[in-house]
Amino acid sequence: MPDRFVDLLRHGEAQGGARFRGGHDDPLSEEGWNQMARATAVDPDWTRVVCSPSQRCSAFAHRLAESRNLSVSILPGLRERGFGAWEGLAAHQIPAEELTRFWDDPVGYTPPDGEPFERFRERVLAAWDQVCAEDEPFTLAVTHGGVIRVVLAEMLRMPPEASLLIEVPPACLTRLRIPESPGRPSLMRHGPP
């Protein structure tokens, strides 16, 4: 069987600017739509689209899939980490001591009422396994920065706490090669188009 490919696309800018959104379901801004259109302008022959249920991912995924006659599957495991009491807040609105604890120990420190990192990681990796188990030649997964960081850290064998060191800007496109077993997935590209 030939190698398969997965493109991970982070959603573009959401209305309200940079915030800890998690499950807070803000739509894309006009600029966010434009960012994602630019990121997907080159047609790499995707054969299916999967996405997070958040509208900042799913609205674009459905529009793109419709324009290319592709099906869309919503995978709840691809949603962003729940940030609890921080959801909807910009970094400057969070007490500096709490934010510092989070940046220093993103695995061990959970925002108040938030989703523990290990639970988030397990959920994301289960969804990633589901994507990889499909016999699809080229999948586009429209998701979130935190999800992409978890997948890349796992694939590159990085410790989970290092995942925050991976920059994932809005509309960032990451391409992974999925070889036939016993091969391991590899990173082909990561960054703006």
pLDDT tens digit at each of 193 positions of the chain: 688 999 999 999 999 888 998 888 899 999 999 999 999 998 689 999 999 999 999 999 999 999 999 999 999 999 999 999 999 999 999 999 999 999 999 899 999 999 999 999 999 999 999 999 888 999 999 999 999 999 999 999 999 889 888 999 999 999 999 988 788 889 999 987 6
Question: Residue 11 has what pLDDT?
Answer: 96
* Cβ 172 vs Cβ 190: under 8 Å: yes
Superfamily covering domain 4-191:
Phosphoglycerate mutase-like (3.40.50.1240)
DSSP string, 27-70: PBPHHHHHHHHHHT-S-----EEEE-SSHHHHHHHHHHHHHTT-
Confirm whether pTM is higher than 0.85.
yes
- Contact criterion met (CB below 8 Å) for 180 and 3: yes
- Per domain, the residue ranges of the chain are 4-191
SS3 at position 190? strand
CA 138 to chain centre: 17
Q: What is the pLDDT of residue 121?
A: 97
